[in-house]
């Protein structure tokens, strides 16, 4: 037994876990070999996160056996897992924003590090070892998502981790940062560290992983070397049905000019001018921090810009705050669903009716039956999977949460819907549904501005693409005519 297991760093056997009403994991067995990158793919709700939380000790398993590095693990706590050499990097970073980089790496280990000086010195060494030059005294709250990712990896290394689990590590990284992450992962692998790489992005799985496990509805469907699977096979296994297309057919209903934006200038934006046509999906491509989000925030009045630069149907629109934008029919799906898009502790219903409450209000009183009716209608139209309209949004999966935000804006029949990273952290099946929704919006006469870090979805959904680099619009393309390479070149500048 021991001999056989020496090549296995982590073995999960017949692990099950139930929550009230749901069997989150059903007899799951996975073995992770030393020094490889093991991908785990599956739609949201497939049980990946539950499995990770059992490994880290946040949840306790109902049945089954977990062996890590030759030891059986029964009950564990997050810190015990870390000390054993098992680190997990969550999608929502486990960092204290109000503290410095160095202190975050050695959180709770101040004494062992001999105070502040030792903390910073050790942190510097570790950061250097992965080629990262962040100042250890910077506040974590001031770091970019990519830098936080590096920090999390450094933190994992500080525990001499033998196995690092990364949950959706690429969801907020640009392609350059992703390359850097891949390089670091390659380096870790060379040092003999095993990696579990959880991702929705199949391209990454194919590029990075040696072995891949597909999960669905709490079961392990298959574990295979990556080379033995095609992309289509993998998708079929993930969704349990074959998806013929990842994208619906490109909508074609572009009409006359609907909105005109004239020379927005701020600290970060320079001479931003463009047009949006009726029934058009306009894609914004650029690196994170290029100014994509700032442009739409300026249009919606979420950030202050001097003067009026937006013309809707030829008339100047006075937009000083998002409420003004709503009045003239501009809806914004913010980049950060959880912080800006949803009130997580509110019910599905409250979140959906949030923007359209005045429609169901008379003399200041809300008509609650109408409120319910609207919520129910959006839930069924969009296929939001929720036990009831009264369930808190917090308990829904990412895809269903995003649909709640979409539902909110569809209810006010927006002329212009601005979608900032509409499919971030959403699985393949739910992505397709969001694309279909986008198509419906433009077919019903609306227009969409779509911002995305995922080039393929912009290329497949947009009628026109603008590339943005360092706060300037650097190019305009017809995605049907040019290659992804051309567009990316223009976006990098």
Among 103, 177, 371, 454, binds other proteins (CB under 8 A): 103
Which residue's CB is nearer to other proteins, number 140 or number 416?
A: 140
The candidate with the shortest Cα–Cα distance to 10, out of 68, 52, 61, is: 68
Nearest approach, Cβ of 484 to other proteins (angstroms)?
29
Which residue's CB is nearer to other proteins, number 116 or number 232?
A: 116
Pairing mode, if any, of strands 330-333 and 361-362? unpaired
Among 10, 258, 269, 416, binds other proteins (CB under 8 A): 269
- Interface map 211-250 toward other proteins (x if CB under 8 A): ----------------------------------------
> Residue 33: CB partners within 8 Å, gap ≥ 6?
7, 8, 9, 194, 211
Stretch that binds other proteins, among 22-30, 39-47, 97-105, 376-384 (CB under 8 A): 97-105
By the rule CB under 8 A, 298 interacts with other proteins:
yes
Q: Give the C-alpha separation, 4 to 9, whole Å.
A: 11
Among 96, 183, 232, 323, binds other proteins (CB under 8 A): 96
b/e 278-290 (16+ beta carbons within 10 angstroms → b): bbbbbbbbbbbeb
Phi, psi of 366, rounded to the nearest 5 degrees: -85, 130
Q: Give the C-alpha separation, 487 to 490, whole Å.
A: 5
Look up residue 77 and give its DSSP letter: -
The candidate with the shortest Cα–Cα distance to 41, out of 396, 424, 428, 395, is: 428
By the rule CB under 8 A, 107 interacts with other proteins:
yes
Nearest approach, Cβ of 45 to other proteins (angstroms)?
22
Q: Give the C-alpha separation, 80 to 78, whole Å.
A: 6
By the rule CB under 8 A, 319 interacts with other proteins:
no
Scan residues 65-94 and list those touching other proteins (CB under 8 A).
77-79, 82-83, 94
Nearest approach, Cβ of 58 to other proteins (angstroms)?
7
- Structural contact between residues 8 and 31, judged by C-beta atoms closer than 8 angstroms: yes
Nearest approach, Cβ of 137 to other proteins (angstroms)?
9
User: How many residues sit close enough to other proteins to count as binding (CB under 8 A)?
Assistant: 31
Q: Give the C-alpha separation, 471 to 461, whole Å.
A: 23
By the rule CB under 8 A, 108 interacts with other proteins:
yes
Stretch that binds other proteins, among 18-26, 101-109, 195-203, 246-254 (CB under 8 A): 101-109
Nearest approach, Cβ of 331 to other proteins (angstroms)?
21
By the rule CB under 8 A, 145 interacts with other proteins:
no
Q: Give the C-alpha separation, 5 to 196, whole Å.
A: 18
CA distances from 207 to 185, 451, 490 (A): 12, 25, 24
> Residue 377: CB partners within 8 Å, gap ≥ 6?
none
Phi, psi of 481, rounded to the nearest 5 degrees: -105, -25
Among 6, 60, 98, 478, binds other proteins (CB under 8 A): 98
Nearest approach, Cβ of 94 to other proteins (angstroms)?
5
Among 188, 205, 305, 405, binds other proteins (CB under 8 A): 305
The candidate with the shortest Cα–Cα distance to 66, out of 54, 48, 53, is: 54
By the rule CB under 8 A, 335 interacts with other proteins:
no
Nearest approach, Cβ of 297 to other proteins (angstroms)?
7
Which residue's CB is nearer to other proteins, number 52 or number 428?
A: 52
Among 304, 315, 321, 359, binds other proteins (CB under 8 A): 304
Q: Give the C-alpha separation, 66 to 162, whole Å.
A: 16
By the rule CB under 8 A, 184 interacts with other proteins:
no
Note the helical H segments in 74-191: 78-84, 101-105, 115-129, 145-158, 175-190
Nearest approach, Cβ of 244 to other proteins (angstroms)?
42
Among 29, 223, 236, 266, binds other proteins (CB under 8 A): 266
Contact residues toward other proteins (CB under 8 A) are 56, 58, 77-79, 82-83, 94-99, 103, 107-111, 115-116, 266-269, 294, 297-298, 303-305
């Amino acid at each position: 037994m021991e001999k056989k297991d020496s090549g296995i760093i982590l073995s999960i056997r017949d692990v099950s876990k139930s929550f009230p009403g749901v069997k989150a994991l059903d007899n799951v067995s996975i073995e992770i070999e030393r020094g490889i990158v093991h991908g785990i793919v599956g739609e949201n709700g497939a049980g990946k996160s539950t499995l990770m939380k059992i490994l880290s000790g946040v949840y306790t398993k109902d049945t089954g056996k977990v062996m890590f590095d030759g030891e059986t693990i029964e009950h564990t706590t997050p810190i015990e897992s870390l000390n054993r050499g098992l680190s997990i990097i969550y999608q929502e970073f486990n960092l204290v924003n109000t503290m410095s980089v160095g202190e975050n790496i050695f959180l709770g280990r101040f004494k062992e590090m001999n105070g502040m000086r030792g903390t910073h010195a050790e942190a510097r060494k570790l950061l250097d070892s992965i080629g990262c030059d962040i100042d250890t005294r910077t506040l974590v709250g001031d770091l970019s998502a990519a830098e936080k990712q590096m920090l999390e990896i450094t933190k994992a290394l500080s525990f001499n981790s033998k196995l690092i689990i990364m949950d959706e590590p690429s969801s907020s990284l640009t392609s350059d940062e992703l390359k850097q992450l891949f390089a670091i992962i390659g380096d870790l692998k060379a040092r003999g560290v095993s990696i579990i790489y959880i991702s929705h992005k199949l391209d990454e799985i194919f590029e990075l992983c040696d072995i891949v496990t597909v999960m669905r509805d709490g079961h392990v469907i298959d574990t295979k070397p990556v080379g033995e699977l095609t992309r289509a096979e993998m998708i079929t296994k993930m969704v349990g049905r074959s998806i013929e297309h990842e994208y619906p057919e490109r909508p074609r209903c572009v009409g006359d000019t609907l909105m005109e934006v004239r020379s927005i200038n701020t600290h970060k934006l320079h001479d931003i001018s463009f047009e949006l046509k009726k029934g058009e999906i306009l894609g914004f491509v650029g690196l994170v921090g290029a100014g994509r989000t700032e442009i739409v925030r300026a249009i919606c009045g979420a950030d202050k810009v001097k003067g009026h630069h937006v013309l809707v149907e030829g008339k100047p629109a006075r937009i000083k705050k998002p409420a003004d934008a709503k009045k003239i029919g501009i809806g914004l799906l913010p980049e950060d669903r959880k912080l800006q898009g949803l009130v997580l502790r509110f019910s599905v219903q409250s979140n959906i009716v949030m923007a359209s409450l005045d429609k169901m209000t008379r003399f200041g009183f809300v008509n609650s039956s109408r409120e319910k009716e609207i919520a129910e209608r959006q839930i069924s139209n969009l296929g939001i999977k929720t036990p009831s309209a009264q369930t808190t949004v917090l308990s829904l999966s990412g895809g269903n949460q995003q649909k709640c935000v979409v539902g909110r804006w569809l209810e006010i029949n927006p002329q212009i819907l601005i979608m900032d990273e509409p499919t971030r952290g959403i699985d393949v099946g739910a992505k397709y549904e969001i694309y279909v929704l986008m198509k419906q919006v433009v077919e019903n006469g609306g227009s969409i501005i779509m911002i995305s870090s995922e080039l393929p979805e912009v290329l497949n959904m947009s009628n026109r693409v603008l590339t943005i680099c360092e706060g300037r619009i650097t190019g305009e393309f017809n995605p049907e005519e040019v290659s992804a390479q051309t567009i990316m070149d223009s976006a990098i500048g």
